[in-house]
Chain A
Amino acid sequence: MTRAAPANGHLAGAMEKPAAAGPHRSLWGDVWRQFRRHKGALTGLAVLGLVVAACTAGPWVYWHDPFASDLAARNLGMSLGHPFGTDNVGRDTLARVLIGGRISLAVGLAAMLLGVLIGTLVGVMSGFFKTLDGALMRLTDMFLALPLLPLLLVTIMLFRDSLRDMLGPEAGVFLMIVFVIGATSWMQTARVVRGEVLAVKAREFVVAAASIGTRRRNVVLRHILPNVMSPVMVSASLGVATAIITESALSFLGLGFPSDFPTWGRLLFDGQNAIELTPARVIWPGIMISVTVLSVNFIGDGLRDALDPKQRGR
C-alpha cells in the first residue's frame, strides 16, 4: 500500500523523520556539549578525575605504608624517598594523604548521597501531596533554624564512642559522620525540589497523565522525577564540596575522625603545630582539600549552566 500523500505538507514534516537533520541529538548529549564549552568545568572534571584515581589506586601502588611508624625517619622534609616528607613518628605523608583522600572523598560522596536522598524524598512528598506539605515544610524550617555547627560538634562528641562500640571502630565513625553531615544538609535540596515539583505538577503532560488514570506512584516516578533531576544534580555536586569541607572542619576542630584515620582534615589538625618544622604536613592536605573542592565547585557551575535551557544552545 502506498502511503496517501498528506494533505498538508507542514504536517508531513512533523510525522516523518526529517531526512537531513544530522546525528541523533539527545537531551544529555546537548547537556554534555554545553558542559564542554565551560572551560573551568572541564578542567575541574579532569582534576577531580586525577585526584580520585590517585587516591583509589595510589595506596595499592605506592610502596610506603601509611600506618607504619619509623622512628629513625621522623620529621623529614620532602625528599626522593619521602616525596611529601614524614610526620613526627616517621609515617610517610604522601601515603597518608593518598589514603586520607579515600576517606575524605568517600565521606563527601556518601554524605551528599544521603542528603540528596532525604532532600528529594521530602521535596517530592511535600510538593506532590498537599496534605503533607505544611508539616514537611515546618520540619524543613526547623532544621534550617537549627544551628548546625554547634549541634554537629555536640552530636559527634556524644555519640562517637557508643557508635564505635556498636559497629566497630572504622565503620562506626564513618557512618556517624556521614549520617550527621547528610542529616543536616538536605534542607536546601528539599526546598528546591519542592519548588520544581510544584511547577512540574501544573504542567499539561502531568495533568494529562493523571487524567488517563496513571497511578500516582507512576506519575511521580515516570514524569515528575525525571524533570526535577537537573536542580538535584546541581545540588548534589555542590553538596559534595560542602560535605568535604564540613568533614575537614570537624576533623580540624579535633571532633571528627580519630587519629587512626588520616583524613585530610585530620592531617591538618595533627600537623598544625609542626607547621614550621615540617610545613609539608600541612600544605599538602590543605592543597588537596582546596583543589578537590574547587574542581567540584567548577563542575557544579558547569552543570548549572549546561542544564539551564535558557543558556544552552547560545
Chain B
Amino acid sequence: MARYLLRRTLAAIPTLLAISFVIFAILDLAPGDPTSSFPLSIPPEVREQYREALGFNDTFLVRYGKWLRQMTVDEPIALIEQSFGADAGSSRTRIQSWASRSPVMDTIAERLPQTLWVLGVSFLLGIAIAVPLGVVSAYRQYSLVDQLGTLASMVGYSVPTFFTGLVAIIVFSVWLGWFPSFYDTTHEVTDFASFVFQLRQMAMPVAVLALFNAAALSRFTRSSMLENLGEDYIRTARAKGVDERGVLLRHALRNSAIPIVTLIALQIPGIFAGAIITEQIFRINGLGQALISAINASDIPMVQTLTFIFAVLVVASNLLADVLYGLLDPRIRYE
C-alpha cells in the first residue's frame, strides 16, 4: 500500500506540472490589465511604470519560471518560517498579488477557514442527510418515502443553487429578518452568544448547499444499496436469522459504503467549485470570492495560484478516493 501511494504521488507530479503550465499559458494570453480599474485621472505613463514594477512586461517563460520557483521553493520556506517564527527575509521572493501588492499565500491562508467553515459543514450535513435517506429509500423501494425522496432529490439536484440562494436571501433575510444578509468573516466565536450568531449567519448558505449535495448523493446511495440488497449474501443473512437492522447496516451498507465513500472523496473538489457561486450569492469572503475578484481585477498571480491549488485538491482527492477504495474493499490489493 505504501509503495502504491508513493508511486501514485510521484506520478501526480508531472500531471500537476502540466496543469500548471496549461493554466499559466491560458492566463498569459490574458488581454487584461491590472491598472484598468484605476480612475482615468491617472495618466498612462504612470500606469506603465506601475505595470513595469509588477513584472507585467516580463516574458512568458521568465514569469512562469519565477512563479514555479516561488511556488515550490519560496512558499514552503515562508510557511516553515511563519510556523516557527523565524524570519530569513524570504518575503523578498514570494508570489505577489498585483491587486494588493502583498503575498498571495497570506491572503489564501486568511480565507481558507471561511471557505472551509461553510462548505465543510454543508458537505458533512449533506452526507448526514443523504445516506440515511438513500438507505431508507432503497430498503422501502417504491414506498411513499421512496417516491417523495426521489422527487425531492431530483428537484434538489435540478434547481440551480444560485436561484434557491437568491430566493432564500429575500425571504429569510429581507422579509423575515431571521438571518443577517452580510457574512462577517472576522466574527470570532468566544462565547455562546457569538456561537449562536455564527450559526445564524451560516444557516442559509449551509442549508442551500447541503440540500444540493444531499440530492446528488442520496440518489447514488439509493442505487448502490439497491444493487447490494439484491445480492445473494443478503438472502443468506436473512436465512441465517440476522435481524433486519443487522442486514441493512452490517451487511448491505458496509458493502455499499465502498462506492459511496469513493464518490464522496471525488466530490471534494466540487466543494471548491461550488464555493465560487455560493460565496458570490451569500457575500462570503472566501477563496471562491477571491478568485472571482482576482479575475475581474486581472490579478494574474492570484488567479494562477488559486487555480493551481484547486488542481492540487482535485488530484489529491482522486488519490484519496483510490486509497480509500483499496482500504475498504478487501478484494482489492494494490501493489
Which residues of chain A have a CB within 8 Å of any CB of chain B? 40, 138, 141-142, 144-151, 153-155, 157-159, 161-162, 241, 245, 248-249, 252-253, 268, 272, 275-276, 279, 282-283, 286, 289-290, 293-294, 297-298, 301
Contacts and interface: CB of A to CB of B under 8 A. Distances in A.
Given A153-B295, A154-B27, A157-B295, A144 B314 contact: yes
B273 A147 contact: yes
A249 B27 CA distance: 21
Interface residues of B, number: 44
B311 A147 contact: yes
Of A145, A290, A293, A301, chain B has the most CB atoms within 10 Å of the CB of A145
B154 A297 contact: yes
Given A249-B160, A249-B162, A249-B277, A147 B26 contact: no
Contacts of A272: 166
Given A147-B310, A150-B307, A298-B154, A268 B162 contact: yes
A40 B311 CA distance: 37
A282 B306 CA distance: 32
- Shortest Cβ-Cβ A-B pairs, 3 listed: A147-B310, A286-B163, A294-B158
14 contacts: A40-B150, A40-B151, A141-B15, A145-B16, A145-B314, A154-B307, A158-B31, A241-B158, A253-B277, A268-B166, A272-B166, A282-B166, A283-B167, A297-B158
Contacts of A138: 15
B18 interface: yes
B291 interface: yes
A229 B269 CA distance: 30
Interface in B252-298: 269, 272-273, 276-277, 280, 291-292, 295
B158 A293 contact: yes
Contacts of A141: 15, 318
B19 A146 contact: yes
A138 B27 CA distance: 23
Contacts, number: 120
Contacts of B150: 40
B22 interface: yes
Contacts of B159: 286, 289-290, 293-294
Contacts of B272: 147
A215 B276 CA distance: 50
A148 B22 CA distance: 13
B29 interface: yes
Contact of A150 (B30, B155, B276): B276
A268 B167 CA distance: 11
Contacts of A279: 170
A276 B311 contact: no
A85 B280 CA distance: 27
Contact of A149 (B23, B27, B273): B273
Nearest to A249: B277
Contacts of B32: 157-158
